[in-house]
């Protein structure tokens, strides 16, 4: 899966670069044709942040640190495990940029991370079948990215961006409470939903091509509770309090505006 996403990312990068070369060639032809008007040529700034409406493509790949937390009450028993580890995240976003100010977009994302669990049973640390974290998630989302300082006279501020997005998808998470003599690690898949917030900065490479960095916080809720609807006894005896993934991600981004 990672190889497929990297291939898509590279295809996006190469296609965007080709589009920039084509755009640049037309710009060069236009500048030669307008050589008779030097005052207008001086007034143009090819590195200025675009204020146009256009199709928006953004590809990102980055480093991730995720913390996963699970808490369950079963009658008078309290089971809790948590842990964290490092991983990778990749994302492709497509949408529409309005007047260079706000982009409305959908996205596809892949997240993978590993680490170690700590298990607590009735507030005492215990040994369990498997303490290895080997989790990955496939997410689809929708959100907005804002460039609030496009009219600023300061070049550094012009491509500062803020992004917010809602996510839905599946997470495949290792189960530390499963015992299987034939496999060392068991994965359970659950529905997951959440949101992420990001702030970052782009640098303009050509007329339409930018690259940048962003710092993103992501929170995912895992729907892993047993279905006890309509059974008051079960609802009182078995309750999943929390099952969350909390992540910090450092992203390298390439985008076309």
CB atoms within 10 A of CB 179: 9
How many Å apart are CA 55 and CA 103, to the nearest integer?
9
Q: Where are the beta strands (DSSP E) in the chain?
A: 54-74, 77-98, 102-121, 124-125, 132-146, 160-174, 187-204, 209-223, 238-256
pLDDT at 43: 42
Q: What is the pLDDT of residues 30-80, one digit of tens each?
A: 444 444 444 444 444 444 555 778 899 999 999 999 998 887 766 566 777
pLDDT at 158: 79
CB atoms within 10 A of CB 213: 14
How many Å apart are CA 110 and CA 91, to the nearest integer?
6
For residue 217, give the CATH number of its domain.
Answer: 2.40.160.20
Tell me how many domains the chain contains: 1
pLDDT at 44: 43
pLDDT at 240: 54
pLDDT at 63: 97
User: Is the pTM for the entire model greater than 0.85?
Assistant: no
pLDDT at 78: 72
Which residue range is the domain that position 164 belongs to? 2-256
Tokens standing for residue 151: 């009219």
pLDDT at 30: 47
Which residues, given as ranges, of the chain have pLDDT below 50? 3-4, 7, 10-11, 14-47, 181-183, 227-230, 234-235, 237-238
């Amino acid at each position: 899966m990672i190889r497929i996403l990297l291939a898509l990312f590279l295809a996006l990068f190469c296609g965007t670069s080709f589009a920039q070369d084509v755009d640049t060639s037309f710009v060069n032809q236009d500048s030669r044709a307008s050589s008779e008007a030097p005052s207008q040529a001086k007034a143009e700034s090819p590195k200025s942040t675009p204020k146009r409406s256009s199709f928006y493509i953004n590809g990102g790949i980055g480093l991730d640190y995720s913390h996963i937390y699970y808490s369950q009450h079963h009658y008078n028993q309290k089971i809790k495990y948590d842990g964290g580890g490092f991983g990778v995240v990749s994302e492709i976003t497509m949408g529409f940029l309005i007047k260079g100010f706000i982009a409305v977009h959908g996205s596809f994302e892949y997240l993978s991370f590993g680490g170690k669990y700590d298990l607590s049973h009735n507030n005492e640390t215990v040994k369990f079948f498997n303490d290895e974290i080997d989790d990955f998630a496939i997410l689809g989302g929708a959100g907005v990215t804002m460039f609030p300082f496009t009219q600023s006279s300061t070049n550094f501020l012009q491509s500062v961006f803020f992004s917010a997005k809602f996510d839905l998808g599946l997470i495949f998470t290792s189960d530390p409470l499963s015992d299987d003599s034939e496999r060392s690690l068991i994965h359970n898949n659950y529905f997951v939903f959440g949101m992420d917030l990001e702030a970052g900065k782009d640098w303009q490479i050509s007329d339409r091509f930018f690259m940048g960095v962003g710092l993103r916080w992501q929170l995912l809720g895992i729907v892993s509770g047993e279905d006890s609807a309509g059974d008051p006894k079960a609802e009182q005896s078995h309750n999943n309090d929390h099952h969350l993934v909390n992540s910090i991600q450092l992203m390298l981004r390439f985008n076309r505006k």
